[in-house]
Amino acid sequence: MDTTTASARIRTGATLYAYTNAFHQRRLGLEGLVREVARRGQGPGLEVVGFQSFRDFPDVSDDTAARFRDLVASTGLTLTCLGINSDTHVTPHRSRSTQELVDFHARQLRSAAKLGFPVVRCQYAAGPEVLRALAPLARDLDVRLGLEIHAPHTVDHPEILAFREMYAQVGSPYLGFIPDFGSSARAVPRRYIEYYRANGVPERAITAALELWSDDSDPFTKRPRYLEWAAANDIERSRALEIHTIFGLFSRQPPRNWLEIMPQVVHVHGKFYEVDDSGEEASIDYRAILATFVEGGYEGFISSEWEGHQVSDEDGFLDVDRHQAMIRGILAAS
């Protein structure tokens, strides 16, 4: 019988994406962000986005890799995941071919190995055949490929099922998933609603969007349906386009649905927006989600991924403090 505690099997960490505002405001660069995460005890896990953090990405020089690995070693942090991009459309009038995408991803995968990351975050736009072709390289480099399941996708959406079917065919332990908790939201975050109001989105447009978000229809149909409603109801298109992003940021997948892919989960994005003074995340039911991951036997890191930067000027550090305290409290009681 496994006698280890849930808090020992599931560890906290941070993604530098959570501090996007501090980066964009030029308050901290890559080294400053890494050191601040360590200083505040927001590790031990450290996740980085390749194109955000390394000027020479998708390739990295030996010097860049050495300096980064020395930096991480000096902080005592543990590298968990490198976010890589699919970038299927980089030239006008055509998409990259499958082979071009394989080559592009292989460059990023080799850079991840050189930098010392054990997992890369892949995007669904790459398609199953690209990840199939990369599985042997991932094995040779000992870097796992984690397909992010991000709203509006769910574990049983046809596009995700195509990856699951391919995974079953290949049978490689280097092919896995990275759940994003934004796919299991229970409400649109308060911060977002307040932002829309402050920026002139009419109340009736907000009400209509929230009602549509809350129904059980296919989330992929909601954005076009909302824009049609807005046009028919004289909502300025710029305002409609601003609020319709809620249909791509948050989905209502039941937390227990994550159990379907749990054996193949290689990392987790602990998406959150605001932990209140009572220690709760009103828009995402962390107690139910973490209970599911404990039941499923997940062992690994959860990166605190604050996405409030889209509607707030805060730097994210205090938000991550609250988020990790919430996670640790829930796991300690499990």
Same domain, 31 and 112: yes
**Which 3 state secondary structure label does DSSP give 184?**
strand
Question: Is residue 265 included in any domain, yes or no?
Answer: yes
Domain identity same for 153 and 214: no
Q: Is residue 318 part of a domain?
A: yes
Percentage of residues in the chain having pLDDT higher than 70:
99
Are 70 and 184 members of one domain?
A: yes
Count structural domains, the chain.
Answer: 2
- Shared domain for 80 and 222, answered yes or no, is no
What pLDDT was estimated at residue 329?
96
Q: Residue 90 in contact with residue 51, Cβ under 8 Å?
A: no
- Note whether 225 and 113 are same-domain residues: no
278 in any annotated domain: yes
Both 114 and 62 in one domain: the answer is: yes
Domain presence at residue 216: yes
Examine residue 231 and state whether it is found in any structural domain, yes or no.
yes
**271 is a domain residue:** yes
pLDDT 10s digits, 148-173: 999 999 999 999 999 999 999 999 99
**pLDDT at 5 exceeding the cut of 80:** no
pLDDT at position 137, please? 98
Same structural domain for residues 125 and 15? yes
Which of 209, 225, 243 lies at the terminal end of a domain, its last residue?
A: 243
Q: Is residue 124 part of a domain?
A: yes
User: Which runs of consecutive H residues, i.e. helices, occur in the chain?
Assistant: 6-9, 20-24, 30-39, 50-53, 62-75, 98-115, 128-141, 158-170, 190-198, 203-214, 222-232, 237-243, 246-249, 286-295, 317-332
Whether 90 and 149 share a structural domain? yes
Strand (E) or helix (H) holding 15:
strand 10-15
How far is the first Cα of the chain from the last one, in angstroms, to the nearest whole number?
Answer: 16
Does the pLDDT of residue 1 top 50, yes or no? Answer: no
pLDDT tens digit sequence for 198-230: 999 999 999 999 999 999 999 999 999 999 999
* Burial letters 152-173, b for 16+ CB under 10 A, else e: bbbbebeebeebbebbeeeebe
Residue with tokens 């998406």: 271
Query: Would you give the DSSP letter of residue 301?
Result: E
* Phi, psi angles (nearest 5°) of residue 173: -70, -5
User: Catalytic residues, which ones?
Assistant: 150
The mean per-residue pLDDT over the stretch 168-194 comes to 97
Domain end point (choices 206, 221, 243): 243
Which tokens is 227 given?
A: 């824009």
Are residues 205 and 326 both part of a single domain? no
- What residue numbers bound the domain in which 215 lies? 194-243
How high is the pLDDT of residue 4?
Answer: 63
What's the predicted TM-score (pTM) here?
Answer: 0.95
Co-location of 79 and 204 in the same domain: no
Average pLDDT on 125-139 reads 97
Q: What is the pLDDT of residues 9-32, one digit of tens each?
A: 999 999 999 999 999 898 999 999
Structure tokens given for 235: 């909502």
Residues with Cβ within 8 Å of residue 102, at least 6 apart in sequence: 130, 133, 134
pLDDT in tens, 225-247: 999 999 999 999 999 999 999 99
pLDDT number for residue 91: 82
Last residue of a domain, one of 228, 243, 258: 243
Residues 101 and 223 in one domain: no
Domain CATH code at residue 152: 3.20.20.150
Q: Does residue 1 lie within any of the structural domains?
A: no
Predicted pLDDT at 184:
97
The amino acid at residue 89 is H
163 and 301 housed in the same domain: yes
* Nearest CA-CA partner of 166 in 197, 193, 200, 133: 133
Q: Which of left, alpha, beta for 227 (phi over 0: left; psi -120 to 50: alpha)?
A: alpha
